[in-house]
Amino acid sequence: MKKTGILMVSLLIATNLLAQPNFTIRNYSVAYGKKASYYNNEAGRLFKKGQYNASTLNAANALRLATKKGQISEAQGRLIDSYDRAVQENLNRIESLQTESATFVNDQTVTDRAVIVSIYKIMIDYNGILTTLPRSSFDPVKRKDPKLDLEIIDFKDDLKQASANLEEGKKEAAAWHYQQGRDLGRSSDLKTNKQAARHFRWAMAYVPSYEDSQSRYEKAKLLGTTRLGVVNFTTASQVSKYGDLGSIASDEFIAKMPGNYEFFEIVSRDQLDLIINEQELNISGLMDENSITEVGQLKGVNVLLVGKLSSASQDRQQGGGTETYLEEKEVEDGKEKYIDSGGKEKTRTKYKKVTAYVKFYHKSASGNVIGSFKLLDVKTGSITRAGALVGNYSWEHKWATYTGDKRALKSSTRSLVNKGPAEFPSRNQMVITANRELVENLVKKVKQYADQVGKL
């Protein structure tokens, strides 16, 4: 039998009958370039965990590499423990899966047939190793050892048939999902079209370019995508003195909002303005509870984001400089001669105390913007989500001045002296930065909604 390589194949088994197609076979290989002793140890470890196929694969590899009698004897023992058990369990599993997947039902049928393929492949993998070994590899090397007598079956034809059954199942699954998509695609409902798009995409997962699934997917996706329009935030008069924060907030939201959704997108500002102008919709009062039903006139948009910045503030504080703190230190002051206890003249470092008088200063500033938002369902005019928004900015600067000897300063004080004073941030910049944090909080809230509607 032809050697097929040292691979262990495992399969992710779908637990939901209508789950996303799940028939990908992942390859597992034994560690490369190890010695027979390593594979023997792995075979024993995996056998204890009940992983008989993996144990057999490692034991076969150990027997292939073993040169010492002890290693050969151990590899043979590992195979005696695991081989028959692995093959028998595999055949029992295959028989059960063949019964369950004899007739196509749904995705699970394909998954079951893929499992059958994976089981045959793993048996062919370790049988491929064993059949290339000389017969002497199966003879006892110690008097007490039993003969390694394995019934090695050629499963190549079985694998060929199982693979054909799998391919047929994939075609049947593609046809089934395609029909599901067509049936659902007759609806104009957004959610139903999203489900239709899912089925067309899954049809192509089974059989690439199946029928006209790609064009149907794109059409269903277009009809199943939630399209969000973003209106410039309105601003209270008190906020307006800091600039056009409403327009800044909406523009920054569009820039920062993730765009990697299958069924969620943001309508461009130019496109939204065109829609609003064409339909002569007055949206300036949409934050008013009595006006939100007007949004039902808006076409080409599913959800509208509106918001209001109700207040903005900033503050500056400066302190310190009123108290003086003494810092002192012993520092080197040249050399001096002295007579040691033995009467010899020597030289030593001379020290003196130096002092400095320090004043500490600090400045702090803060900005704050408060607002609120609503996500309005265009079809019903109802509020999908709403909440308060807050953005904050804070700034602090500390420094120091001194008189006296700089050598007396602590390292931390010297760092503050080197900093020197600094100018306060501008009042507008503090509020604009706080507004930026408000937008980041808004993105987090809207992203929760996008995660819900934009993915399957």
Q: How confident is the model at residue 441 (pLDDT cuts 50, 70, 90)?
A: very high
Residue 313: which H helix or E strand, with range? strand 303-320
Q: Look-up: residue for tokens 């002051």?
A: 333
Q: What are phi and psi of 396, to 5 degrees?
A: -145, 140
Confidence (pLDDT) at 2: 34
Q: How confident is the model at residue 297 (pLDDT cuts 50, 70, 90)?
A: low
Return the bridge partners of 307, or none.
373
Helix spans in 101-155 (H): 107-130
Work out the percent of the chain whose per-residue pLDDT is above 90: 75
Say if CB 138 and CB 150 are below 8 A apart: yes
Query: pLDDT tens digits, residue range 381-411?
Result: 789 999 999 999 999 999 999 999 999 999 9
Up-side HSE of residue 126: CA atoms within 13 Å toward CB?
Answer: 32
* Burial class (CB within 10 angstroms; exposed 0-12, middle 13-18, buried 19+) of 115: buried
Q: Name the residue type at position 409.
A: L
Confidence (pLDDT) at 426: 95
Q: How confident is the model at residue 17 (pLDDT cuts 50, 70, 90)?
A: very low
Considering the domain delimited by 226-327+355-456, tell me its CATH architecture.
Answer: 3-Layer(aba) Sandwich (3.40)
For the residues 113-118, what does the mean pLDDT come to?
A: 93
Q: At what angle do helices 190-206 and 213-224 cross, to 10 degrees?
A: 150
For the residues 35-61, what does the mean pLDDT come to?
A: 95
- Measure the CA–CA gap between 34 and 41, rounded to whole angstroms: 11
Give me the torsion for CA of 285, 289, 290, 293, rounded to 10°.
Answer: 80
Return the bridge partners of 339, or none.
345
For the residues 308-328, what does the mean pLDDT come to?
A: 95
**pLDDT for 315 beyond 50:** yes
Angle CA 35–39–44, to nearest 5: 145
Query: pLDDT tens digits, residue range 168-178?
Result: 999 999 999 99
Average pLDDT, the chain: 89
Return the bridge partners of 352, or none.
331
Question: pTM for this structure?
Answer: 0.74
Q: Look-up: residue for tokens 């400045």?
A: 363
Return the bridge partners of 331, or none.
352
Say if CB 225 and CB 189 are below 8 A apart: no
For the residues 361-375, what does the mean pLDDT come to?
A: 96
Q: Which of 6-10, 67-71, 304-308 has the lowest mean pLDDT?
A: 6-10
Q: Where in the chain is the domain with CATH 3.40.50?
A: 226-327+355-456
List the one residue out of 177, 199, 193, 277 whose CA is nearest residue 227. 193
The more confident residue out of 5 and 104 is: 104
- Measure the CA–CA gap between 435 and 313, rounded to whole angstroms: 11
Query: pLDDT tens digits, residue range 149-160?
Result: 999 999 999 999
Q: How confident is the model at residue 271 (pLDDT cuts 50, 70, 90)?
A: confident
Q: What are phi and psi of 18, to 5 degrees?
A: -110, 30
**pLDDT for 38 beyond 70:** yes
Confidence (pLDDT) at 282: 66
- Measure the CA–CA gap between 87 and 79, rounded to whole angstroms: 11
Query: pLDDT tens digits, residue range 195-234?
Result: 999 999 999 999 999 999 999 999 999 999 999 999 889 9
Tell how strand 226-230 and strand 303-320 pair up. Answer: parallel
Residues 6 or more apart whose CB falls under 8 angstroms from that of 125 comprise: 4, 5, 6, 7, 8, 9, 57
Q: And the tokens for 441?
A: 């909080």
Contacts 24+ apart (CB under 8 A), 40-47: 40/66, 40/71, 40/74, 40/75, 40/78, 43/75, 43/78, 43/82, 44/78, 47/78, 47/81, 47/82
* Burial class (CB within 10 angstroms; exposed 0-12, middle 13-18, buried 19+) of 240: middle
Q: Look-up: residue for tokens 């020197």?
A: 420
